[in-house]
Amino acid sequence: MPEALHAALPALFISDLHLAEDHPETVAAFLGFLRGPAREAGSLFILGDLFEYWAGDDDVDAPFNRQMCAALRALSDSGVQLFYMTGNRDLLAGDDFARMTGMRLLPDPSLLVLGSQRILLSHGDALCTDDLSYQAYRRQVRDPAWQAGFLSQPLAARKAFIESLRKQSETAKQEKTMTIMDVNAGAVEVILRQYGHPALIHGHTHRPARHLHRVDGRDCVRWVLSDWHSHATWLSFDGRDFKAVVPTQT
174 to each of 132, 167, 177, 205, 236, how far by Cα in Å?
A: 16, 11, 8, 15, 33
The annotation status of 65 as a binding-site residue, yes or no, is: no
The annotation status of 16 as a binding-site residue, yes or no, is: yes
Interhelix angle 144-151/132-141, nearest 10 degrees: 70
The annotation status of 211 as a binding-site residue, yes or no, is: no
What sign does the dihedral 122-125-130-135 (CA atoms) show?
negative
Cβ distance 92 to 147 under 8 Å? yes
Beta strands 110-114 and 117-122 are antiparallel
The annotation status of 77 as a binding-site residue, yes or no, is: no
Contacts of 40 (CB under 8 A, 6+ apart): 10
CB atoms within 10 A of CB 140: 10
The annotation status of 164 as a binding-site residue, yes or no, is: no
The annotation status of 176 as a binding-site residue, yes or no, is: yes
The annotation status of 131 as a binding-site residue, yes or no, is: yes
The annotation status of 104 as a binding-site residue, yes or no, is: no
The annotation status of 169 as a binding-site residue, yes or no, is: yes
The annotation status of 216 as a binding-site residue, yes or no, is: no
The annotation status of 182 as a binding-site residue, yes or no, is: no
The annotation status of 206 as a binding-site residue, yes or no, is: yes
As annotated, the binding site for substrate includes 88-89, 131, 169, 173, 176, 204
As annotated, the binding site for Mn(2+) includes 16, 18, 49, 88, 123, 204, 206
As annotated, the binding site includes 16, 18, 49, 88-89, 123, 131, 169, 173, 176, 204, 206
